[in-house]
Amino acid sequence: MNNAAKIRDSERGSAGVKFFIALCVIVLVANAGFNYVPVAYDAESLKTEMQTAVVQGLAMPARLNPLDNVRGRIEKAAQQNDVPADVVIDVKQAGNAITAHVVYTKPVNILPFGIYKYNYHFDHTATPTGFLLKQ
């Protein structure tokens, strides 16, 4: 038995190298997910808040300005969801509905030490849907 093991010396040690490579890949994927998931979650939360603000702005009484109210709600939601300061918020009256359009780009470190940065681009337009638009 020992003679067979001594003949195959070049085949030893590959399990450690494979484990190290697999561990490096797992660490890189975990780092990318750790950095990307919060940015994507904040973007989806902002989409939800935009949709809520547009629907509530449509249902506001006539004595209040619905455009200012919707803009204020979206600005507050943008601040809570870590949106960059160079965000573009556009709120318009389109017929009897209010539309809100938000655009921003946020850099995300995918690889550690700033080797690769992904620019997460958010571009969403919220329009009210449902029974409030039916006449």
Query: What value does the mean pLDDT of the chain take?
Result: 88
With respect to residue 2, please indicate whether it lies within any of the assigned structural domains: no
Q: Which domain holds residue 38?
A: 13-126
For residue 63, what pLDDT is reported?
A: 75
Least confident of 17-21, 93-97, 125-129: 93-97
pLDDT at 87: 95
The pLDDT of 27-40, averaged and rounded, is 96
* Residue among 44, 33, 22, 21 nearest 118 (CA): 33
40: closest CA among 129, 130, 121?
A: 121
Q: Is residue 40 domain-resident? A: yes
- What is d(CA 83, CA 74) in angstroms, rounded to the nearest whole number? 11
> Is there a domain that residue 81 lies in?
yes
How many degrees, rounded to 5, is the angle at CA 78 between CA 48 and CA 58? 50
Q: Tokens for 79, please give them.
A: 């601040």
How many domains is the chain partitioned into structurally? 1
Q: Is residue 6 part of a domain?
A: no
Helices (H), 1-135: 2-7, 14-58, 66-80
Phi, psi of 77 (to 5 degrees): -65, -35
Query: Is the pLDDT higher at 75 or at 114?
Result: 75
Distance between CA atoms of residues 56 and 43, nearest Å:
20
The more confidently predicted of residues 14 and 74 is 74
Instruction: List the single range of 20-24, 62-66, 113-117 with lowest mean pLDDT.
Output: 62-66
Contact 121, 107 (CB under 8 A): no
Q: What is the pLDDT of residue 101?
A: 96
State pLDDT tens for residues 65-108.
889 999 999 999 999 999 999 999 999 998 888 899 999 999 99
Residue 130's identity, in one-letter code, is G
For residue 74, being part of any structural domain is answered with yes
